[in-house]
Amino acid sequence: MQLNLLAPFQAFLRPKSQFALFFVAFFIAKLLHLGSHFASLPIVLYLLYFPTFLLPDVLLLVGSKLLVYRHNGGQASTIRKCIGGVLATFTLGCSASQISFFVETGGEIQWMAASRVLGGSGGLGLLLSGMGSMIVALLILIAISVLIAPWFYDLTDRVFEAVGGSFRKSFFMVIRKRAATEDYELLLSSEDERTESSDGSGRSEKPAPTPASAVTAVTISILTVLGAIVVGVLQYVRPTSPPYAHMSGSLPITLIEAVLFQPINSEFCLPHPVEVVPFPFESFKRFFNHQQPADWLPEWQTCGRDNGPGPPPWLEHPGHDSPEGGSNAPWGHDRPPPHIPHDRPLHPPPGPPPEPMDRNFHHRPFRHGGPSGESPCEPMKLSNLNADLVDNLASEIKERRPMIKNILLLTLESTRKDMFPFKKGSHAYDTVHSSYTSTSNKQELDAKLRKLTPVSTFLSGESNGFESETEHYEENDWRNAFKDGMGAININGAITQAAYTLKSLVSSHCGVEPLAVDFTEETNGHIYQPCLPQIFWKMSEAVRGKHHGDHDFKEKHEKRDSRDWTWESAMIQSVTDQFDSQDVLNDQMGFRNVIAETTISNPQSKHYPPKQPRVNYFGFPETETLDYLRDMFVDAQEHEKRLFVSHLTSSPHHPFKTPADWSDKTNYLQPQRWRPEDPLDGYLNTIRYQDQWISQIFQMLHDVGALNETLVIMTGDHGLAFNSLDNSQSAVNNGHISNFAIPLLLVHPHLPRIQLDASTTPLSIIPTVLDLLLETDSLPLPAAEVAKEILPKYMGNSLVRKLDYSVSTSNGTAPAFFQPFHFSAINPGGSLLAISDASTTYRLIFPLCSTIPLRFTDIATDPHEMNPITAWTPGELSEIVKVRHGVKAMEWAQLAEELGRWWVWKQRAKWGYWGNARETSRGGAEVGGGIGRIKKEHWWETK
C-alpha cells in the first residue's frame, strides 16, 4: 500500500473541506466574540438583538456558498478553488490568533494595532510568545472542520434547495392561474408514473407532491419571509451606539475594515476636531463651588486666545511660524510648531561623543520644538514652588549638606506599586496565599515572600509586614552608607502618565503629558518642553560661558569645584531600542550616548562578548549593562564630568523570563496541573530578580565612590494587571488601577527618610530634581539661574515641598481652589484615557476611538476595582453613578468627561500633531484635507 503524501492537500482543495473550514473559523471566533460581550448588555436586549448579531455570519455563509464554494456542473472551477482556499486559510489564521490572544490576555485582539507591533524589533517575538496556544487553536479548528466536512456542505445544499424549491412552488401556486397550476401538477404526476414504472425497485427518484408538500412549501416560504422581516426591523431599530455594531463584527470582515477603513466611534477618530474645544470653565467652576479667584488668569481677557472659542488651530495661518515675541500663545497652541533640526546621536562604542544635537540651542529662546514651558493661561496649571520644604528636609539639608553631583533615573518596567515593596497582608499577598491550603506550605511561603523585595523595602523605608530579622551586612555593603533615619523621600500615591513604556518615558524625562494616540507618535510631533539631557546641556553651556575668556581660570583653580563640571547624559538598557522608534525618541530627548542591545551584541564593544545569552525576544538580562554603567561613573570622575544616566529595566515585561542560571527562581503560587506556571508566578520571579539587580547597581555606585554624590530617582513606567490578582489581564486597552499605580522615590544617603502621601505623576520628576539641586546648593550660579528660569514652566510640581498649591492671577498668585487632575494614556494610546484627580478617589476610563464602554470606580470603596460601573453612554453612566455614589460623584464624572475631551485636543495642539489616533487610520493624505466625516464601522450599517 503506497502512502499518498498529497492526500491532505488534495482534501483541502475540495470545496466541501474549504467551506467547512471557513465556516468553523469565522463562526467559532464569532461565538467567542459574543461570549466575551455577554455582560455588555442586559440579558433582555442581548437576546432581543441576538439575531442581528448573527446576521453578518448568515450573509457570509450564504454569500460564500453561492459565490465561492459552489459547483458548476458538479465540479468547482480552479479559480474558485484558489479563492476558496485563500479565504479559508486567511480566516483560519485570524480566528486562531483571536482565540489565542483571548486565552493569553483575556481580551480581544486589536487588529488595528497589529501592523505597528509586527513592524518593530521584538514585536514579532511578542506575538510569537503566544504561538503555543495559537497552534492548539489551529489544530482544534481544523479537527472540527474535518469532522463536519462530509455532511455540512450537503446539509447546506439541502437547506438552500428546500428554501429555494419552496419559493418556486409557492410562486406557481400564488402567482399563476389555478388552471396552470393544475396542469403543472398533472404533468408532474404523469412524469412520476412513467419513472416509477421504469424503475425496477419500484421507487421514484422524486416523491410525488402531495397536498402536505404544498403546505410545507408555503409554510417554509412564509417563515423565511417573516424571519427576514423581523431581523430587518430589529436591525433598523437597533441602537447605533456601542456595543451593538461592534458585537456584530465577524471575521474576516473586521480585519479587512481595520486595514481599509477608519475606526468609527467618535470625534477622536478624526485627526482634529471640527472646531476648537474650549476649556469647560462653567462646569469646572460649578463643581468647585465657584471658589476661583476673581482675577484667575486663565479666565482673564488676555488668555481668551488660548482658552476661548475661535478658529481651529490647524487652519489659522497655515504654514507660518510662531512669532518669537509679542504673543501669549506659545508654539503648538495655535499652529504646528516650526521644525527644529537635530543631528543623529552616535551609538557607542566606539568613537568620541558627538557635537550637541542642536548647535543653536543657546542662541534661541529655551524651547524644544514647542512652547517654552506651559502657558501661564493653562487652566490646569498649579504651583507649589512658594510652599515650604516638607517635614524636616530643610534642617537636614542644612546640617548634612548633601551633594548631588550625578543623577541616575531608574525606570522599572511593569513594576506595580504593591510590588515595591511586597507587603504581608496586602491584596497580592492574600491572593498568593489563597492558592495554598496546607498550613505548613503557607509558613514556607511566608519565608519566601519575605525575601521577595528586601532591597525595595530598605530603599522605600516602608514596612513589609513580615517579622523583622536583624540584618548583618558586610563591611563594604552599600547599605552601610545609609545611616539611621536617612535614605529616601518615598511618594505613596503616584500613578503613571501612560500605561505604555515609551510614552511614560516622555513624561518622566521631559515633564510633558503624552499624546492620546497609538504608539510613540510623539516622535512625529514636537516635544514642547526641554528634557533632562537638554536642561543639563543648557546648564553646561551657561557654566562654559561664565569661564569663557578667563585664561587664568585653570591657574587660579588647580582643582575645580565639581559643581562647575559639565554634564554628560546617557541612556542605557539591555534590550533593543529599535522597538517603536525608541532610538528616534532617545535622540529627540537629547541623549548623546546610548547603550542598548545592539551595543552589547556588537563584537567591537568594550565588554563583548555578553556573559549571558538573550533572555527574551527584546534582548539580554539587565546585568549585561553593569560594566558599561561602571565605566560611565569611573570615566566621569576621571574627566571631571557630571552624569545624568537613565536606565530602563526589562525583566518584568512579558514573557517574564529570568536567566537560566539564576538560582533563586521558585514557585510562589501553588502549581496547577493544567498550566505549568501561572503568569503571576513568573512575574513575581522577575520582581525578585529586579530587586537583586537594583542592589547590584547601588553596590557598583558604592564601589566607585559615587553613591554619596548621586541622586537616584526610581519610578515605574506602568503597572500590570493579572487575572489572579485583579480579575483583569494585561495593560492593553485595560484601565484597571493596577496598570497605573507605580513606585516613585528619590534616594540619597544624606536625605532624610520621608513618607509622602501625594497623588502625583512622573511629571513632577523634573521640577523636583531642579528644586532639590537648588536647595542642596549643588549648582553653580549660572546653572542655578537656568534652573530658576525654567522650573516654573513645567506642569509638574516639586515633591520636596508641601502640597500647598497656588494658581496664577492677573496680579500674581492666589491659593488654589482645586487639586491636580491626572490624564493617563492607556496602551496603545488612542483607544482609552484614564482620568483622576487628587481631591477625590474617583477614576473614569474615558473611551476615545474605540468600542469600549465608559468605566467609573471609587478606589476608596473599591480599592482593587472588582466592581466597576460600566456604561455605553455618558447619560447612562451618570444615572448609575448618581444612584450608587451620590450627586457629587455624578457631577465629577460629568466634569471628567468634559475635561477629557478638552485635554485630548489640547495635547494635540501642544505637540503640533494632527495625525490619526489609531495606527491603521494613518495614511499619506495631507492632514486636514478632505476629512470632515466619520465613516461607519461596519459595511452593513445604514444609519
Stronger pLDDT, 315 or 77, i.e. the higher one: 77
Alpha-carbon gap, residue 111 to 101, rounded angstroms: 11
**pLDDT tens, position by position, 770-816:** 999 999 999 999 999 999 999 999 999 999 999 999 999 988 999 99
Alpha-carbon gap, residue 785 to 790, rounded angstroms: 9
Q: Count other C-beta atoms under 10 Å from residue 401's C-beta.
A: 11
Q: Which stretch, 121-125, 339-343, 441-445, has highest mean pLDDT?
A: 441-445
DSSP-assigned beta bridge partners for residue 495: 741
Number of H helices and E strands in the chain, helices first, is 30, 15
Helix (H) or strand (E) holding 630: helix 626-638
With a cut of 80, say whether residue 318 has pLDDT above it. Answer: no
E strands within 690-739?
Answer: 710-716
Q: What is the mean pLDDT of residues 84-96?
A: 87
**pLDDT tens, position by position, 479-502:** 999 998 899 999 999 999 999 999
Q: Which stretch, 304-308, 553-557, 649-653, 827-831, has highest mean pLDDT?
A: 649-653
With a cut of 60, say whether residue 310 has pLDDT above it. Answer: no
Question: Could you tell me which residues come within 8 angstroms of residue 285 by beta carbon, excluding any fewer than 6 positions away?
Answer: 292
With a cut of 80, say whether residue 939 has pLDDT above it. Answer: no
- Per the CB < 8 A criterion, the answer to whether 617 and 125 are in contact is yes
- Which pLDDT score is estimated for 327? 30
Q: Count other C-beta atoms under 10 Å from residue 336's C-beta.
A: 25
Q: How confident is the model at residue 642 (pLDDT cuts 50, 70, 90)?
A: very high
Lowest mean pLDDT among 134-148, 237-251, 536-550, 692-706: 237-251
Q: Distance between alpha carbon 722 and the CA centroid of its chain, in Å?
A: 15
Q: Which residue type sits at 643? A: L
- Per the CB < 8 A criterion, the answer to whether 472 and 738 are in contact is no
Three cell numbers written together for 942: 445604514
3-state DSSP percent of the chain in helix, strand and coil, to 5: 45, 10, 40
Order the strands of the 869-871 sheet from edge to edge: 821-825, 832-837, 842-847, 854-858, 869-871
Q: Which residue type sits at 596? A: A
SS3 492: strand
Alpha-carbon gap, residue 108 to 96, rounded angstroms: 12
- Angle separating helix axes 393-400 and 765-775, nearest 10 degrees: 50
Q: What are phi and psi of 807, to 5 degrees?
A: -120, 160
Q: Is the peptide bond before 780 cis (omega within 30 degrees of 0)?
A: no
Q: Distance between alpha carbon 482 and the CA centroid of its chain, in Å?
A: 37
Q: How confident is the model at residue 607 (pLDDT cuts 50, 70, 90)?
A: very high
Three cell numbers written together for 493: 500615591
**pLDDT tens, position by position, 866-901:** 999 999 889 999 999 999 999 999 999 999 999 999
pTM assigned to the model: 0.77
Q: What are phi and psi of 389, to 5 degrees?
A: -65, 150
With a cut of 50, say whether residue 291 has pLDDT above it. Answer: yes
Q: How confident is the model at residue 933 (pLDDT cuts 50, 70, 90)?
A: very low
Q: How confident is the model at residue 106 (pLDDT cuts 50, 70, 90)?
A: low
Mean pLDDT for the chain overall: 81
Q: What is the mean pLDDT of residues 519-537?
A: 94
Q: What angle do CA 515, 521, 522 make, to 5 degrees?
A: 60
Write the DSSP string, 817-864.
SS--EEEEE-TTSSSEEEEEETT-SEEEEEESSSS--EEEEETTT-TT
SS3 8: helix
- Which pLDDT score is estimated for 484? 87
Stronger pLDDT, 49 or 919, i.e. the higher one: 49
Alpha-carbon gap, residue 57 to 221, rounded angstroms: 21
Q: What is the mean pLDDT of residues 363-373?
A: 39
With a cut of 50, say whether residue 342 has pLDDT above it. Answer: no
With a cut of 70, say whether residue 407 has pLDDT above it. Answer: yes
- Which pLDDT score is estimated for 152? 87
- Per the CB < 8 A criterion, the answer to whether 645 and 625 are in contact is no
Alpha-carbon gap, residue 820 to 488, rounded angstroms: 24
With a cut of 50, say whether residue 213 has pLDDT above it. Answer: yes
Q: Count other C-beta atoms under 10 Å from residue 786's C-beta.
A: 22
- Per the CB < 8 A criterion, the answer to whether 756 and 490 are in contact is yes
- Which pLDDT score is estimated for 678? 84
**pLDDT tens, position by position, 903-927:** 999 999 999 998 878 765 554 332 3
Q: How many CA within 13 A on the CB side of residue 209?
A: 21
Write the DSSP string, 555-622.
HH-SS--GGGSEEEEEEEESB-S-GGGHHHHHHHHT-SEEE-HHHHT-TTSTTPSPSS---BTTB--G
For residue 774, CA distances in Å to 95, 365, 572, 780, 786 come to 58, 22, 27, 9, 11
Lowest mean pLDDT among 346-360, 495-509, 585-599, 616-630: 346-360
Q: How confident is the model at residue 200 (pLDDT cuts 50, 70, 90)?
A: very low
Question: Which candidate, 249, 212, 312, places its Cα nearest to that of 108?
Answer: 249
Mode of pairing for the β-strands spanning 812-815 and 806-809: antiparallel
Q: What percent of the chain has pLDDT over 70?
A: 78
Q: What are phi and psi of 466, to 5 degrees?
A: -85, 160
**Domain segments of the chain as ranges:** 7-260
Q: How many CA within 13 A on the CB side of residue 148?
A: 17
- Which pLDDT score is estimated for 72? 61
- Which pLDDT score is estimated for 498? 96
Alpha-carbon gap, residue 244 to 48, rounded angstroms: 12
With a cut of 60, say whether residue 715 has pLDDT above it. Answer: yes
**pLDDT tens, position by position, 736-761:** 999 999 999 999 999 999 999 999 99
Q: How confident is the model at residue 125 (pLDDT cuts 50, 70, 90)?
A: low
249-270 burial: b if 16+ Cβ within 10 Å, else e: bbbbbbbebbeeebbbbbbbbb
Question: Which candidate, 405, 591, 532, 455, places its Cα nearest to that of 791?
Answer: 532
With a cut of 50, say whether residue 732 has pLDDT above it. Answer: yes
Q: What is the mean pLDDT of residues 465-470?
A: 78
